[in-house]
Structure 1
Amino acid sequence: MVISSAYNLHPESCEYLESLRAVDASLNTERIYAGRIALYLSYCAERGIDWTRPTLWQLKTFLHWLVEEPLPPRGRIAPAEPRHREEKTANAVVSTTGRFLDFCSTRGWVPLDVVNMLWEPKFLRTPPPGYDLGEDGQFGSVQGRTVKFRISIEGYEWLADDQIETIIGLTRNARDRFLVTLLAVTGARIGEVLGLRREDMHFLANSRSLGCPEGGPHVHIRRRSNNANGALAKARKPRSIPVEAETVGFYSEYQHERDQVAEAAESDMVFVNLFRQPLGQPMKYHGAKDLFDRLARKAGFAARPHMLRHSAATRWIRGGTDPDVVQDLMGHVSGQSMQPYLHSTSAERREAVERGTAHRKAHA
């Protein structure tokens, strides 16, 4: 919750967060946006800036402060070297701030000229695949942000197959092993997986007895806004994702482990707390984050739930799966979302160069 130094609720920001709930934004999105807005409001308060009327120079100074100001230490022991935000993180904070100010302008709390200075016309010299500029390029001009760092566009982070196997091998119990495997196999978002109910797990060879015509073992992804753990499927359209025998086996092992915790029997959620209080309650986002943080430290490389999603899409596309099928599996509305998943490995890049060199020498 966004509060002032006097522990009073900040009415404008609270109303903005409520507007996110009105469009079914996830609890995780609301939490992240609240933290970003709090950074902006605190920055303004400490410097005597009217947050409703910042100048362009003040917003740019805020952007640079975000990367220059050291982050508070994690835990009781201060790190040897201070930590700082990355430029892309600062861009995200200022982008959320812009959305907040834009929302406030619709309520009359922020002058419209403040919002207008955050954007400038920008011509798309290299439009995204599938984007129609029009016969005369009339659709090539878009609104670009004026307050941001210019950074190179990075591809999505993903994990190679051996890294995924390493992460699975480092899990200490059946629940965590099934969670990691399900993310890797289905490419589902962490919010979608944490929101699964037992009724969504159709792991029989034939699910007609359950009223489902889908053949083979599969998982149903459904958007529900009443999950006790705040988990929310981003895609509004429900979909089903097939799974193979190994995943079904991991689920059976997890069910046996879960049956040992009496409190878990009362919940119809798939993933519940088995090893810490409150036992039997649905697993939350921070619980999944803590799990992946531990696994990443043991593995010695970055590992986050969304990296498994990107890995699944990359694996399907490289395997020759039709992009439309991958789009359906991922729950993407637009086919343009498939482009960032076209990763190449260092071995593939080296093979391409060596093949090109051999071709050049052969025709010299």
Structure 2
Amino acid sequence: MVVDAGTYALHVQACAYLASLRSRGCSANTERAYAGRVALYLSYCQDRHIDWAAPSFMDLSGLQRWLITEPLPVRGRRPSLEPRFRSRGTANAVMTVVSGFLRFGAVHGWVTPETVAMLSEPKQLFHLPPGYDPGETGQFRTVEASSFRFALTDPGYQDLSSEQIAAMIALAGRARDRFLIALLACTGLRIGEALGLRREDLHLLASSRVLGCGTDGPHLHVRRRTDNPNGALAKSRRPRTVPVTAALVTLYTDYQYERDTAADATNFADGEMVFVNLFRPPVGRPMSYPNAKDLFDRLARAADHPFRPHMLRHSAATAWLRDGVDRDVVQRLLGHFSPLSMERYRHVTDAETRQAVERVQAMREHR
């Protein structure tokens, strides 16, 4: 929910917007992020005596600029001497939520159509995305683009080598954390899918027919559930089955021993969630997104290089494609609905470009 900082009164329109996200099946993590961005917009308007429901073009343009020029609040016990600022990508994310909030308000009569009209402007597509159909006469080349969006340079996706992943697993001193990292690297699961796993989803025997499952070999099932106690939610609405390796089964066995011998283990030994708190109160509660973020941030500081859950998913997909696995198979493993989503995963390395040049040179010399 979003409340007024002074009176603690609910902001009815903002709370209604968040309720609409909930009704669409968005994850608790998404709802939390959107709530913070809406609250940021409302605070900005309140401090500058702007009517949040009727901002001018200059008001929204000023917000966009303020997002990247205003230093972020100091955090931590040992604050850095260097001020921190939001990136342009973060500013774009905030402006996207603000635009969605205003459009939602227009549907309910809180925001005028004139305000919504200035949120986007026509844009002509000269370079079409792969697979995009411009229409027989090019009628679909003109699209509505956001009026408040910074142009960004594509930073590319970061992936990790197998050596880096092995080093991160070694840095994780606990069996639960080692299993989580290896699980993401082996299966390409999203962090929400991993945190939402239940014990009934893990079929780690050679045959699971006794469980009523006809899939052979060790595997796990990814299912979208909206009632997970930690709010974890699988992004894909289609269930899928992902094979796992014998090495991953061994790491899971180590984790189960750690879980069964943890303090107060008798209170949650039969808990249905796979990942639970073992080392901080409340012990036994399902592991949450913030818990996982703290773990990866801590390991990133220890390794002195970026380390985020989605990097493991990206690394798995890149490795599969580089090893010649069919794109349709990779798409199914990752749970992507559209083949266009696969474009981001195939990266050409420096070694591959060198091999190509040397191969052509060798052919010329042979001739």
TM-score by shorter chain over 0.5: yes
Shift of 1:351: 4.2
- Partner Cα separation in structure 2 for residue 262 and residue 352 of structure 1: 59
- Partner Cα separation in structure 1 for residue 86 and residue 184 of structure 2: 28
Deviations 1:102-124 (A, max 9, x none): 11111111111211111111122
Equivalent in the alignment of 1:13: 14
Which of 324, 340, 352 is 1:348 aligned to? 352
Shift of 1:76: 2.6
Moved more, 274-283 or 151-160: 151-160
Equivalent in the alignment of 1:54: 55
1:313 aligns with 2:317: yes
- Partner Cα separation in structure 1 for residue 191 and residue 359 of structure 2: 40
- Partner Cα separation in structure 1 for residue 122 and residue 343 of structure 2: 25
Equivalent in the alignment of 2:4: 4
Equivalent in the alignment of 2:179: 178
1:276 aligns with 2:280: yes
Give 3-state SS (helix, strand or coil) of 1:2's partner. coil
1:161-240 residue pairs with structure 2 within 5 A?
161-240=162-241
- Partner Cα separation in structure 2 for residue 353 and residue 55 of structure 1: 56
1:302-341 residue pairs with structure 2 within 5 A?
302-341=306-345
Shift of 1:346: 3.3
Shift of 1:78: 2.3
Q: Output the aligned Cα RMSD.
A: 1.8
Instruction: Name the TM-score, length of structure 1 as normaliser.
Output: 0.96
Amino acid at match of 1:83: R
Shift of 1:316: 1.1
Which of 290, 296, 302 is 1:292 aligned to? 296
Task: Call closer, same or farther: CA 1:350–1:86 in 2, change over 3 Å.
Answer: farther
Moved more, 262-271 or 297-306: 262-271
Is contact 1:187–1:312 with CA below 8 Å preserved after alignment? yes
Give 3-state SS (helix, strand or coil) of 1:219's partner. strand
1:253 aligns with 2:254: yes
Is contact 1:24–1:225 with CA below 8 Å preserved after alignment? yes
- Partner Cα separation in structure 1 for residue 300 and residue 38 of structure 2: 29
Shift of 1:137: 1.1
Equivalent in the alignment of 1:38: 39
Runs of at least 5 residues in structure 1 that lack an aligned partner in the other structure: none
Amino acid at match of 1:175: R
Equivalent in the alignment of 2:157: 156
Count of aligned pairs: 363
Equivalent in the alignment of 2:82: 81
- Partner Cα separation in structure 1 for residue 9 and residue 356 of structure 2: 61
Give 3-state SS (helix, strand or coil) of 2:276's partner. coil
Shift of 1:262: 2.1
Task: Call closer, same or farther: CA 1:258–1:88 in 2, change over 3 Å.
Answer: same
Which of 295, 301, 308 is 2:305 aligned to? 301
Is contact 1:194–1:270 with CA below 8 Å preserved after alignment? yes
Deviations 1:177-231 (A, max 9, x none): 0011001111111111101010000001011111111111001000111110011
Give 3-state SS (helix, strand or coil) of 1:265's partner. coil
Give 3-state SS (helix, strand or coil) of 1:303's partner. coil
Moved more, 130-139 or 64-73: 130-139
- Partner Cα separation in structure 2 for residue 88 and residue 40 of structure 1: 16
Equivalent in the alignment of 2:102: 101
Shift of 1:355: 5.6
Give 3-state SS (helix, strand or coil) of 1:241's partner. strand
Amino acid at match of 2:166: E
Shift of 1:347: 3.1
Identity %: 56
Amino acid at match of 1:274: L
Is contact 1:266–1:280 with CA below 8 Å preserved after alignment? no
Give 3-state SS (helix, strand or coil) of 1:78's partner. coil
Give 3-state SS (helix, strand or coil) of 1:121's partner. strand
Deviations 1:217-273 (A, max 9, x none): 001000111110011111110001000100000001111111112223141100011
Deviations 1:142-180 (A, max 9, x none): 111111111112322222222111111111111000011
- Partner Cα separation in structure 1 for residue 364 and residue 216 of structure 2: 53
Equivalent in the alignment of 1:131: 132
Give 3-state SS (helix, strand or coil) of 1:144's partner. strand
Amino acid at match of 2:305: F
- Partner Cα separation in structure 1 for residue 135 and residue 321 of structure 2: 30
Task: Call closer, same or farther: CA 1:235–1:253 in 2, change over 3 Å.
Answer: same
Task: Call closer, same or farther: CA 1:146–1:267 in 2, change over 3 Å.
Answer: same
- Partner Cα separation in structure 2 for residue 5 and residue 350 of structure 1: 59
- Partner Cα separation in structure 2 for residue 305 and residue 259 of structure 1: 26
